[in-house]
Amino acid sequence: MVDPLEKAVDGEEAPRQRFLLDDTGFDEVPPKYRRFYRKWKGPGDVLAPNEAICPVCKVVIRSTRELREGDRVYCMPCMSRLVIVRAEDGGLEARVAY
């Protein structure tokens, strides 16, 4: 079965990049979930295409696939459900979905 999120639509959308997540030493969630999070290292830090910063607690959320508008991600350290949206600057950002 083809994941509809990965399928190119009329050639306009490239397939999503996939990412292997390693443990970055983040220790605030149970071991089985640790690879999905890392610490934000401050202003010099750069988010990868599969990462978003949690607006509530400022932890970096990681996904196994490139993030796109409309994706749902969870921030376990602060128990928030988030949706990826297009920000005013054109980039992607996570917004809390209550």
Partner 1 sequence: MAAGTSPDVHSLDPEAFLEEVHSFEFWFQSVQGYLAGTQFGHRPDVHGAPLAPAERERLVSTLCNYCVGETAALEGASGLIAIAPNRLTKVFLATQVVDEGRHLEVLLRRLAELGVTDPEAEIERRASRSIVHFKRRLLELVASRDWEAAIFAQNVILEAMEFTVFQSHARDADMVTREVLQGIIKDERRHIGFGENELGRRIQASPHIRARLGEVKKELDHLVLETFEETLRELGVPASDRPELGRHYLETVARLGFA
- For residue 62, give the amino acid letter: R
Contact between 21 and 64 under an 8 Å Cβ cutoff? The reply is: yes
Among 14, 41, 79, 91, binds partner 1 (CB under 8 A): 79
Please say which residue, 7 or 81, places its beta carbon nearer to partner 1: 81
CB 72 within 8 A of CB 52: no
User: Please, what is the minimum distance in Å from the beta carbon of residue 43 to partner 1?
Assistant: 13
Residue numbers at the binding site for partner 1 (CB under 8 A): 20-23, 27-36, 55-57, 59, 63-64, 71-81, 96, 98
